[in-house]
Amino acid sequence: MSLDVSAWTAPQRGALFVVTGASGTGKTTLVREALANLPGIAWSVSATTRAARKGEVHGEDYLFVSTEAFERKLQKGELLEWAKVYGNYYGTLRKPVEQALARGESILLEIDVQGARQVREAAPEAVLVFVLPPSVESLEARLRGRATDDDATIARRVAEAREQLQGVAEFDYIVVNDVLASAHHRFQAVLVAELQRRHRHPKLVETFAG
């Protein structure tokens, strides 16, 4: 029996991570940094019908598709989950997620509460992480601070953010994004710890206890 297990540091069974939080909580910043630091976790590129923002790249940030194309994918059962957010469709393609997991890799979905619930239904073993703002007031101030939005848009965003926050009770982990450096640390600690769980390392268990 070989006892050099250094090749098996990475898990054989990857995790399906779902990260959710109201818009304005800074979850995208946390996710970007984590993925840059943790090469074993892939980013799931969602499909959306919203227009690309400046700097966004098709196929990297999102797959930007027409409403017809999105509805076709929906009808054909190609979406693991989907939601309508701010009047636009968003959804996760089932195939890339299934393929990553089948290869033993981990994948991270940054999606809303409605989507997170659907993933939990379809894949109960998914790991759900909720990013909270330090206070409701700070979140609302951030949403109001976006100079490009009119009053009606801001009011709608605030209402939707409050609704998203209600979903926190259904999540496995909570990370408060107060001090960014500390939040990065806590967020990545969640992901890293999940990847060390015994059931993801059958070769190690087999080697030492088989």
**CB 1, min distance to ligand 5GP, A:** 45
**CB 87, min distance to ligand 5GP, A:** 10
Q: Which of 166/196 has CB closer to ligand 5GP?
A: 166
Query: Taking a C-beta distance cutoff of 8 angstroms, is the pair 101, 94 a contact?
Result: no
CA distance 160 to 155: 9
Residue given tokens 């330090």 in the structure block: 134
Element (H, E) at 157: helix 151-166
* Distance (Å) of CA 31 to CA 26, 139, 181, 203: 9, 18, 13, 29
Q: Which of 90/171 has CB closer to ligand 5GP?
A: 90
**CB 21, min distance to ligand 5GP, A:** 7
Residue given tokens 């007031």 in the structure block: 137
Q: Which of 110/194 has CB closer to ligand 5GP?
A: 110
CA distance 32 to 29: 5
**CB 202, min distance to ligand 5GP, A:** 31
Residue nearest to ligand 5GP (CB): 115
The footprint of ligand 5GP (CB under 6 A) covers 23, 46, 50, 81-83, 85, 90-92, 110-112, 114-115
DSSP 198: G
Q: Which of 29/114 has CB closer to ligand 5GP?
A: 114
Q: Which of 149/204 has CB closer to ligand 5GP?
A: 149
**CB 179, min distance to ligand 5GP, A:** 22
Structure token digits, residue 25: 């909580």
